Amino acid sequence: MYQFSSKLKTAAFALMIIGALGIGWGFLSAPSTVEEAKEIVAHSNDGHHGGVGSADAHADSHADEHHDASHDVHTLHQLQNRPWSAVYVGIFFFMMIALGVLAFYAIQHVAQAGWSIVLFRVMEGITAYLPIGAVILFAFLVLSSLHMNHVFAWMDPALVDPDSPTFDHLLYDKKGYLNVPFFLIRSAIYIAGWVWYRHYTKKQSLKLDAAAEGDLTHYKKTFRASAIFLVFFLVSESMMSWDWLMSIDHHWFSTLYGWYVFAGMFVCGITTIAMITIYLKSKGLLEYVNDSHIHDLAKFMFGFSVFWTYLWFSQFMLIWYADIPEEVTYYVQRFEEVKVPFLTMVAMNFAFPVLLLMNSDYKRLPWFVVMGGIVILLGHYIDVYLLITPGSVGAQWKFLSVEVIGSMLFFLGLFIFVVFTALSKSPLKVKGNPFMKESENYHY
């Protein structure tokens, strides 16, 4: 049995406390009036921050409307969104990891894979974060629908009111799908399906441990539930990505978006499995996990990093080459306002994993896999930041801000606490699986 060490527990609480202070500072420093927002923008335009500094060019091209009341209010909303967006990035990223691991876990059952069985308890420990992370995310969506923030601009009822001066006819055409009640109902259905599968399979896993030798009743139940879940997951994950991410830029759409989000989710999930497995091995646990298991995890990290890059390039290249105004605006904004994080993210999510993990021998070196994993996770954190922030904050972004770092630290601490608490409650070796011997003796 794994024992949650006091040092790691203290580190988790320290991360949460430091992170909470950073998040709190972000909210306290957000402007509450248009005058305060003007002062912050004027101070930023004096040359302190590259992202806001790019607002100079924006202001030059829109000089006549820069001081209009509507523009000033819009700027206020963007600055007020900054801490909310930072928190949303942290909420979504760590929930995304748990969901990616849950999908990987289901695939192992449906494929009746033998190599990965000794890793099942690690996967189950990581997915323990999903119910907590998903509930926090749903609470954020409810607060957004109550207009506590403006992250989802389409939630403003004035935009779909034909008599309003801010009426948006494009959004009006989408109101059958993008409306608050239907949005929250869909979100609740996604979360309920994912959490049910996680709870059901964990229960069956523990029952399989206690079952008589040769009794495969609970194994077969898990197999059937996993097959049903994967169908539900494929649909719900795509719709989730439209609802929770793409709708932030509600005038823009991409038919590759669901796959793109899935690729990032999957590679982050597998990377987390590898890093926690290596940590537990360093503590003398998981005695049946060998370098071939680590090699295969690293192989998936490498492969899905390439897959993510393929989807990123396919989406970018087709939109950029076609140069259709309503499509290309998504990338124009990211090039003009968040260019450095945007290009850095691509390098971290493609170049580094390929260079670090291409060699088969390197995939067997734990420290090398951990180094590659850190780069992958940080790169995809920036990716989630870029999926959310440009549409909600615009030119008022500030990447290395107190609230962004605070949010990352807080949810990292919460993730560590929940996952390692779950790992300490069950034996790390599952029992009763018919392919267990194959997994214990696995050699690539």
pTM over 0.75: yes
CA 133 to CA 98: how far, in whole Å?
A: 8
Q: Does residue 57 sit within a domain? A: no
Q: Does residue 53 sit within a domain? A: no
Name every residue whose Cβ is closer than 8 Å to that of residue 154 and which is 6 or more positions away in sequence: 171, 174, 178, 247, 250
pLDDT digit of tens for each residue in the chain (444 aa)? 889 999 999 999 999 999 999 999 999 987 878 777 677 777 766 544 444 444 443 434 444 444 466 677 777 778 888 999 999 999 999 999 999 999 999 999 999 999 999 999 999 999 999 999 999 999 999 999 999 998 999 999 999 999 888 899 999 999 999 999 999 999 999 999 999 999 999 999 999 999 888 889 999 999 999 999 999 999 999 999 999 999 999 999 898 999 999 999 999 999 999 999 999 999 999 999 999 999 999 999 999 999 999 999 999 998 988 888 888 999 988 888 888 899 999 999 988 888 878 888 878 888 989 999 999 999 999 999 999 999 888 877 778 889 999 999 999 999 999 999 999 999 999 999 999 999 999 887
- DSSP secondary structure, 399-421, as one string: TT-HHHHHHHHHHHHHHHHHHHH
- DSSP secondary structure, 79-97, as one string: HHHHHHHHHHHHHHHHHHH
Phi and psi, residue 255, nearest 5°: -75, -10
How many structural domains comprise the chain? 1
Radius of gyration of the chain (CA): 23
SS3 315: helix
What pLDDT is recorded for position 46? 56
Q: Does residue 440 sit within a domain? A: no
Q: Does residue 439 sit within a domain? A: no
Of 274, 279, 201, 273, nearest in space to 233 by CA: 201
What pLDDT is recorded for position 67? 47
Q: Does residue 56 sit within a domain? A: no
- DSSP secondary structure, 21-51, as one string: HHHHHHHHTS-SSHHHHHHHHHHHTTTT-HH
Sign of CA dihedral 236, 237, 239, 240: positive
What pLDDT is recorded for position 45? 62
CA 295 to CA 299: how far, in whole Å?
A: 6
| Angle, helix 69-110 to helix 180-210, in steps of 10 degrees | 30
What pLDDT is recorded for position 57? 39
- In which domain, by residue range, is 384 found? 6-48+71-433
CA 419 to CA 129: how far, in whole Å?
A: 6
CA 106 to CA 38: how far, in whole Å?
A: 51
CA 251 to CA 268: how far, in whole Å?
A: 28
Q: Kindly report, residue by residue over 25-80, the tens digit of the pLDDT.
A: 999 987 878 777 677 777 766 544 444 444 443 434 444 444 466 677 777 778 88
The DSSP code for 258 is: H
What pLDDT is recorded for position 58? 42
Residue type, 212: A
Q: Does residue 277 sit within a domain? A: yes
Tokens for 154, please give them. Answer: 């389409």
CA 369 to CA 357: how far, in whole Å?
A: 7
Name every residue whose Cβ is closer than 8 Å to that of residue 100 and which is 6 or more positions away in sequence: 265, 266, 267, 268, 269, 270
Of 288, 283, 304, nearest in space to 101 by CA: 304
Q: Does residue 266 sit within a domain? A: yes
Name every residue whose Cβ is closer than 8 Å to that of residue 20 and which is 6 or more positions away in sequence: 406, 410
What pLDDT is recorded for position 69? 65
Q: What percent of the chain has pLDDT over 90?
A: 70
Q: Kindly report, residue by residue over 248-307, the tens digit of the pLDDT.
A: 999 998 989 999 999 999 999 999 999 999 999 999 999 999 999 999 999 999 999 999
Q: Does residue 267 sit within a domain? A: yes
